[in-house]
Amino acid sequence: MHDAIIVGARCAGAPVAMLLARRGYKPLVIDRDEFPSDMPTSTHMIWHTGVARLKNWGLLERLTSTGCPAMADVNLDLGEFVLSGRPPPAGDVACCYSPRRYVLDKLLVDAAVEAGAELRRGSVSDLLFEDNRVVGVRYSDRGKSPGEARAKIVIGADGANSTIAKMVGAESYNERPHLAGNIYAYFRSLEVKGIEFYPRPGRMIYAWSTNDGMSVVGMCCRYEDYHRLAEDPENRIYAELRAFVPALDARLRGARREGPWLKAATRNFCRKPNGPGWALVGDAGLTMDAISAAGITNAFRDADYLAEAAQKTLSGEMTFDAALAQYEQQRNETSLPMYEFTCEMAKLDPPPESVIALLVALRDNPEAMSAYFGVFAQTVRVQDFFAPENLSRIMESAAAN
């Protein structure tokens, strides 16, 4: 009998296991992959609040020791002018990182196992129920006979196509269709200035540094253009870069691409993240478009929330239903404003005049510009920055100057 069974050992599952094990509980983690292993459809970005959690967990030094560079400056190239600044820090964390997933996920899994979590390689084939509550799983362990494991809570941390979510019939809501597609590749010997964003008609082009002296360069495009570009990315992406961002294109020509162009299109949805005996975390519970690069940061935050809720019910401090309802409320209050903001961005529509005026106003207002970048870093709440009174102050300040 385990205290928790966690299906999925990457950015959401491994932290939950680590946090529960550090509190003296006995989690079992099941994942079909071996570690280290890559995850080829990831933006890699850990924004400031996510980095702050790594630091709180005692894992930031492990990440920096891998040679993953810190990034502090954000550069938003709007064509006619560039907004450059730094988001407000998360505590004393004033930078972000973009590690390769074979680096980050192994680091997280190792931390969970060191804390006392048990890791098994396998795939869940069924759930065990008693009195209409989930009480365990049936799983196949590679090279061994199928087995069963029981626990007081079963957690699905197995991604957007979560097996656990399907098995419990988790309700989806706030669904959006595919809005954008993402095509990217790794480049060596490319000089990148912090985080680079290039909004262009129907596009969001980006570049930032990662492990092994490489950089991630990619393009988010409207979903109706995605399949055409993805059919021949080598020619079509370079043609787009040459047309939209010739300076970046010239730098890329002097760099060396390593590996193929990678591509993915993400659905946007929320799922009810809890029910009798089960919970969902990370992309299994809420998935948003890659354009805001928020996935890993969200996974860390929700892992923290869920570990706290699980501890409350395992210790007897709260009933299971009350603790998990609290988790759902925390997740939604934090996530839904960013979810709506991301979905709106992912449409890649031409900006209305009000948005253009806001961006122009930010140019001569470093404090407001920093707060705008803080929306992405999740150090400034979406609803606070876009509150009518805050926008009025920004516009009034621009008019006075």
Are 19 and 131 found together in one domain? yes
* pLDDT score at 42: 85
Q: For the domain that residue 333 is a member of, what is the CATH number?
A: 3.50.50.60
Are 220 and 296 found together in one domain? no
| CA-based nearest residue to 165, from 124, 213, 222, 206 | 124
* pLDDT score at 326: 97
* pLDDT score at 401: 80
Are 22 and 170 found together in one domain? yes
Domain count, the chain: 3
Q: Residue ranges of the chain with pLDDT lower than 50? A: none
* pLDDT score at 259: 94
Are 35 and 115 found together in one domain? yes
Tokens of 370: 């920093």
* pLDDT score at 143: 65
Are 17 and 112 found together in one domain? yes
What is the pTM (predicted TM-score) of this model? 0.96
Are 244 and 144 found together in one domain? no
Q: What is the domain range of residue 236? A: 180-265
The answer to whether residue 148 sits within a structural domain is: yes
Residue 318 DSSP class: S
Percentage of residues in the chain with pLDDT exceeding 70? 100
Domain end, chosen from 244, 265, 286, is at: 265
Are 145 and 281 found together in one domain? yes
Domain end, chosen from 265, 299, 332, is at: 265
Burial of 148 (0-12, 13-18, 19+ CB in 10 A): exposed
Are 260 and 272 found together in one domain? no
C-alpha to C-alpha distance for 225 and 163, rounded to whole angstroms: 30
* pLDDT score at 258: 95
Are 188 and 166 found together in one domain? no
Query: The sheet that has 268-271: what strands, in order across it?
Result: 172-176, 268-271, 286-287
Look at the chain and count its residues: 401
